Each structure stands twice: as C-alpha cells, then as structure tokens.
Amino acid sequence: MENVFVISSNVRKRMKNLSTEEQQVIIDTFMCDEVNKTPRKHVLSPIMELYYTMIHDYIMRDPMCISAC
C-alpha cells in the first residue's frame, strides 16, 4: 500500500452539511483520485467540484492524515 488516509472527525464535521449522496460522491472521487489512481466514476457539478477541492485539501492537510510516500 502506497498511502494511508485517515478521515478524521475534523473532516467529517466539514462534510456533515452535505447529503449522504453528496458525501458518497466526494469520498468515491477521492478514492479514485488519491487511492486507486483511476478515472473518476462521477462527473462533478461546479459546486460539487468546489466542495470536493475543499474536502480534499482538508484530508491532505489534516494532522491525523498519514501519508507514507
């Protein structure tokens, strides 16, 4: 395994205002982009792309996130 990612309570708090479906799309997209390195399964709307970018940044910068490269 190349990387280990922890979705901390800080990140989950930031996602709590999104619907369950939106949360799933964001996590699926993150998995495709960062873990599996595969094409995305979903085409994100501009607003969802913005949410995704923010959540992605939170995950990558969160002190609980461990990146072993």
Q: Is residue 33 part of a domain?
A: yes
Residue 17 lies in a domain: yes
- The answer to whether position 66 is within a domain reads no
Supply the pLDDT for residue 5: 65
7: DSSP letter: -
pLDDT tops 70 at residue 68: no
Range of the domain at 54: 9-61
* Cα gap 17→13, rounded to integer Å: 8
- E strand or H helix that includes residue 21: helix 20-30
Nearest to 23 by CA among 7, 35, 39: 7
Cα–Cα distance measured from residue 7 to residue 35, given in angstroms and rounded to the nearest whole number: 13
Question: What global pTM score does this model have?
Answer: 0.76
* 21 in any annotated domain: yes
pLDDT tens profile 34-60? 888 899 999 999 999 999 999 988 888
Residue 2 lies in a domain: no
Q: How many domains does the chain have?
A: 1
Nearest in space to 32 (alpha carbons), one of 16, 44, 47 = 44
Whether 3 is in a domain gets the answer no
